[in-house]
Amino acid sequence: MDSGELGGDSGETNGTRRTGDSTEAMDSTETADSTGIGPKREWWKEAVVYQLYPRSFYDANGDGFGDLPGVEAKLDYLDALGVDVVWLNPVYDSPDADHGYDIRDYRSIMPEYGTMDDFDHVLAGLHDREIKLVMDLVVNHTSDEHEWFRKSRQSRDSDYRDFYIWREGRGDGPGGKGEPPNNWESAFGGPAWTYDERTARYYLHLFDEKQPDLNWDNPEVRERIYDMMDWWLEKGIDGFRMDVIDLISKAEGLPDGDADSGWTGSEHFTSGPRAHEFVAEMYEEVLAGRDVMTVGEMPGATVEEAQRYLGPDGDGLNMVFHFEHVSLDYGETGNRWSIGEWDLAEFKQVLTKWQNGLEGEGWNSVYLGNHDWPRIVSRFGDDGLYRIESAKLLATLLFTLRGTPYVYQGDEIGMTNFPFEREAQVRDVSARNFVERKKADGWERAEILEVVTMRSRDNARTPMQWSDDEYAGFTDGESWIPVNPNYEAVNVADARHKDDSIWHYYRELIDLRHARDVLVYGSYDLLLPDDPDVYAFLRTLGDERVLVVLNFRDGTPTFSLPAEVAFDGTELLVSNYPVDGAKPRSFELRPYEARVYELE
Ligand code: GLC
Ligand code: CA
């Protein structure tokens, strides 16, 4: 049974959304526009993006592994939700050391996902529904099984030697290998260098040892990458999400990094000396003149760096994914593996800095989680008593900030972190490395699993919960990663049956955002910056004004609109509790309450 087809509104589309509509709007408003948006209209600013993690979306052939025919089977589901763009995580041929972020062949599909024909069907099926497709572009590194690396490691004078970053060890070291060339660390723990016996040299890998870094200083590498991008665009895809694209240029001489930072060496490869040059070149060579969407994932980006990467006056990218707002709860290790405090005032301050910092200088991406982070309702909300309310609250934030919203698969039904009980349940390479390190440090098993439960990337990668059938309706076989045990209560079939579900709330917000330019293009003004419980802001476009009030706590704080914000009338646009006639001047909020008002 395809539970995605359940629910009273299955397959239905609505008239106000989709990029086709916005293009029409653009034609009519390009020159004169009372709101002043004018030529700054872009389809990718008006779009809602759905991030689809195919390995865990839907398994069509019962091998326990999500696949492209599985995506095809669920296209009507995406259509019913009302999204405009799908960002598909990697489906390229890969030995799968980092769940597809280690690519063996950029131009073929990993057999577990299906064939290139299956891919073409998905692309056509999305386009039939006026949904665009953005692919992951992983070009900081390849797999060590990629043909380029296999040739590169053969000999020091291989034609492909300089496609990667090879160095001699330091000193004599153990067995004559020497110590690694510098102290840089892999993002997944351990040294960023692996010794290769065949040529007695080390190669650099900022991630797993099966992900050697490409040498972007080599013009031939860049040319091959641009050719490959061109090939995919010619196939008809609509853009790229660029994996760790701010890490592609490494500091000359590869100097030692600060050993006390959260990622040793990162100051020498984050927006390194030629990063902007390379991104600008990629834009000129491949992207310029094409109506595509680009978003660069940038773990180390500041607002100032982002301004330089973005827009026609910068390097040409449309958006970046920065990490500032998702790193605020790091503890003493300065990375995800220690749990620190999370402070709402700081969270507001960081988001506000980005909202204002890219006003007129670029465009924000808005996301709270993805396949690399814990589930948003477990991290920023309450996945117990107030799961539904707080999932709706987070959705309200996602769709009312200025920028393009990215919905991560499963968040539209409020999926939660996974309650890890055994080490054998851990799949992700970075979490597995953490477990090994802590066991070696003598940590208790329970202590280790507690951190894993809060921080592992596996939390976001458990199967999509379609129904209360076995394996949550994800597969007829045995799923590659355990299903979250709460699937009987938390699943798509149930959510689509209930009018007041998280799913229907997402749909309502998506419709609202499509209908109201003020939510897309309006300016952003933070209210009550120091309030420790409430996140409130105004969006303004011409004479349209929207007030967003979000209670991030399980208490009942009182919200009072600052006196200088005047209005004659109000209309409640959306809320996650029933509201009877209350006016937004001052009111008490219920736990995790969210309200969006129009001020007239
Ligand atoms: C990005 C991806 C992540 C991957 C890493 C290395 O951060 O989102 O999943 O492990 O890059 O490619
Ligand atoms: Ca499968």
How does pLDDT run across 243-296, given as a tens digit for each residue? 999 999 999 999 999 999 989 999 999 999 999 999 999 999 999 999 999 999
The residue whose CA has the least distance to atom 3 of ligand 1 is 372
Element housing 229 (H / E):
helix 219-235
Q: 148 by DSSP, 3-state: which?
A: helix
CA 575 to chain centroid, in Å, comes to 26
| The pLDDT of residue 588 is above 60 | yes
Binned at pLDDT 50, 70 and 90, residue 174 comes out as: confident
> Looking at ligand 1, which atom is closest to the CA of residue 372?
9
Q: What angle do CA 92, 97, 101 make, to 5 degrees?
A: 40
- Tell me which residues are annotated as active site: 243, 297
Name residue 597's beta-bridge partners.
Answer: 547, 572
Ligand 2 centroid to Cα of residue 354, in Å, is 40
- Sorted by where each starts, the structural domains of the chain and their CATH numbers stand as 147-204 (3.90.400.10), 220-236+244-366 (no CATH), 522-599 (2.60.40.1180)
d(Cα 269, Cα 213) in Å, to the nearest integer? 11
pTM over 0.85: yes
How far apart CA 430 and CA 457 sit, in angstroms, is: 8
Residue range 336-347: mean pLDDT, rounded:
96
- Per DSSP bridges, beta strands 319-321 and 293-297 are parallel
Question: Which two tokens mark 5?
Answer: 């087809």
- The C-alpha angle 170, 174, 179, rounded to 5 degrees, equals 25
3-state secondary structure of 255: coil
- Closest ligand 1 atom to Cα of 140: 12
- Tens of pLDDT, residue by residue over 62-86, are 999 999 999 999 999 999 999 999 9
Mutate to test the pocket of ligand 1, among 55, 186, 372, 458 (most ligand atoms within 8 A of CB): 372
Q: 249 CA distance to ligand 2 centroid (A)?
A: 37
- Residue 27 CA to residue 10 CA, distance in Å, equals 32
pLDDT of residue 34: 66
Per-residue pLDDT tens over the stretch 415-425: 999 999 999 99
pLDDT in tens, 83-120: 999 999 999 999 999 999 999 999 999 999 999 999 99
Residue identified by tokens 């020497």 is: 178
Q: What is the mean pLDDT of the chain?
A: 93
Looking at residue 136, its amino acid is D
